[in-house]
Amino acid sequence: MPELFQHQQSELAASTVKLPWLTAFNQRGADAFRTAALPTRKTEAWKYTPLTALTRLAPQQCGQPVTYTNPLVAFARIDGLHDHRLVFVNGILDKQHSSASALAAVTLFSEANAEQQALIAQHLGHVAQQSESPNLFTDLNDAALSDGVLLHIRDHQPLLQISWLTTSEAKPFTVFARLLVVLERHAQAAIVEHYGSDLSEQNSVTNAVTEIVINDNAQLQHYRLQTMHSSAQHIGSCHVDLQRDARYHGFHAGFGSTLCRNDLVVHHNQGGSHCQLDGIYVPQHDELIDFHTCIEHRAAHCTSNEVFRGIMNDQAKAVFNGRIHIHPHAQKTLAELSNKNLLLTPGAEIFTKPELEIYADDVKCAHGATVAQLDNKAMFYLQSRGISKADAEVMLSFGFINELIEQLPDEAVRNLLRPMLATRFDRDSSLTHDIG
């Protein structure tokens, strides 16, 4: 792994560039990445997530478009979304399977007009740079960036799906995904950011960076779903910039893979903004999933609420780090975080650390974390009604996570996630079929 990293750090060359601003952008990322130290077990942010599994990091994207069979598209299909969908396969836009409406709604960086170029230059990288701690893999994404997706919303954007899919390939490759979402004042939008793959053994790592700017009084419903095959790897980050009275509702779902790391950072930059950040993780077998979240309260009168739940099965391992950082002038902040975990088997592991860092006095903050097994009383209740122990376990595990899914405002997403979740616990889905 260290060799691979050094190789990466020296190999990094700017992509085949056409955009004038991109060269400097790539250069800055490359410089930052080159000088960065390799995370080890002693690096606080990577204490529980060894990068030893990361052996596929290639300096470039999978160069050629691949041929793939139609069933792949099925993985990108979310019923009820009226085909408002953008599909990338191995990092390359697949126009054939993307809908015309979706293509019209977004702009590729490479096809942006002067005004859009200015918007990209204004925000791209800047939202991610607001974080106090440097992110090695965001730098890498900056360095390797050749194209990305701009979603500029002026008024209203119905639920739009953007899928990054990978296929099974012989050679290891990296997908660099980049999404910039800018909501103008009073705008409203809903997006599904989806990372998937076909059902065979994957040889890819996706490095995804999403930057979101929500201007005054705008609101965004954001789903970030990872449903790829367990052999696919993902290292991504999502950065949200909240302006006055902006509202962000993020839902992050991770079903786990050999290495899955997500850094979610929300910046409350202006007063009155609200953030609801929810997430689920359900790794199984020997999967690993890691969520590092950070809510930066920089302005007064903001509220944030964070709920993450996870179930670890088999030998799976999960890491959760939820940080709430209240800056000196962020008075009257209300911030809450809850993280609940279930360990189903010996061998499963959870490492959770809810953090509070508070520099203002007139605030109310609370966090709670639990690690437990299924509630004995609930088990008894079900068993006393003739449900077998195994079935009761499935029902309760499913219900534990489904509680968060039920709260999602979009039925299409609920309908997508519920069966996926059901198959995790109940392999023939006879028990969870009618629930919800």
CB half-sphere exposure, 374, CA atoms < 13 A: 23
Task: Kindly tell me which of 14 and 371 has the beta carbon lying closer to another protein.
Answer: 371
Q: Tell which one of 11, 111, 201, 357 touches another protein (CB under 8 A).
A: 357
343 contributes a contact to another protein by CB under 8 A: yes
Q: Which amino acid is at 395?
A: M
Write a three-state SS string for 311-372. Answer: EECCCCEEEEEEEEEECCCCCCCEEEEEEEEEECCECEEEEEEEEEEECCCCCEEEEEEEEE
Report the alpha-carbon distance of residue 208 to residue 197 in Å, rounded.
15
Contact map string, positions 202 to 231, toward another protein, x by CB under 8 A:
------------------------------
Q: Are 175 and 164 in contact (CB under 8 A)?
A: yes
Nearest of 160, 327, 318, 133 to residue 237 by alpha carbon = 133
305 contributes a contact to another protein by CB under 8 A: no
Residue 298's SS3 state is: coil
Task: Kindly tell me which of 121 and 356 has the beta carbon lying closer to another protein.
Answer: 356
Q: Tell which one of 350, 392, 401, 431 touches another protein (CB under 8 A).
A: 350
CA-CA-CA-CA torsion sign (282, 389, 432, 222)? negative
- Which two three-digit tokens encode residue 269? 């930059």
Beta carbons within 10 angstroms of residue 79's beta carbon: 10
Residue 46's SS3 state is: helix
Helix 20-35 crosses helix 136-144 at what angle (to 10 degrees)?
Answer: 150
361 contributes a contact to another protein by CB under 8 A: yes
Contact map string, positions 168 to 207, toward another protein, x by CB under 8 A:
----------------------------------------
344 contributes a contact to another protein by CB under 8 A: yes
386 contributes a contact to another protein by CB under 8 A: no
Near another protein by CB under 8 A, which window of 31-39, 125-133, 324-332, 402-410?
Answer: 324-332
Task: Kindly tell me which of 3 and 44 has the beta carbon lying closer to another protein.
Answer: 44
Q: Tell which one of 27, 92, 169, 351 touches another protein (CB under 8 A).
A: 351
Report the alpha-carbon distance of residue 272 to residue 307 in Å, rounded.
20
Backbone φ and ψ of 50, nearest 5°: -70, 145
Least distance to another protein, CB of residue 268, Å: 17
310 contributes a contact to another protein by CB under 8 A: no
Q: Are 281 and 308 in contact (CB under 8 A)?
A: yes
355 contributes a contact to another protein by CB under 8 A: yes
302 contributes a contact to another protein by CB under 8 A: no
45 contributes a contact to another protein by CB under 8 A: no
362 contributes a contact to another protein by CB under 8 A: yes
Q: How far is CA 26 from CA 8, 17, 115, 184, 301, in A?
A: 14, 9, 21, 27, 37
- Which two three-digit tokens encode residue 324? 């709430």
* Residue 196, H or E segment: strand 188-197
Least distance to another protein, CB of residue 227, Å: 26
Q: Express the helix, strand and coil content of the chain in percent, nearest 5 each.
A: 25, 40, 35
Q: Tell which one of 89, 162, 192, 365 touches another protein (CB under 8 A).
A: 365
Residues contacting another protein: total by CB under 8 A: 37
Least distance to another protein, CB of residue 19, Å: 41
Q: Are 304 and 324 in contact (CB under 8 A)?
A: yes
Near another protein by CB under 8 A, which window of 198-206, 270-278, 284-292, 359-367?
Answer: 359-367
380 contributes a contact to another protein by CB under 8 A: no
Q: Tell which one of 356, 379, 420, 435 touches another protein (CB under 8 A).
A: 356
Q: Tell which one of 36, 360, 379, 435 touches another protein (CB under 8 A).
A: 360
Least distance to another protein, CB of residue 267, Å: 19
345 contributes a contact to another protein by CB under 8 A: yes
Q: Tell which one of 358, 378, 420, 435 touches another protein (CB under 8 A).
A: 358
Near another protein by CB under 8 A, which window of 184-192, 280-288, 361-369, 407-415?
Answer: 361-369
Chain positions contacting another protein, by CB under 8 A: 44, 48, 328-329, 331, 341, 343-373
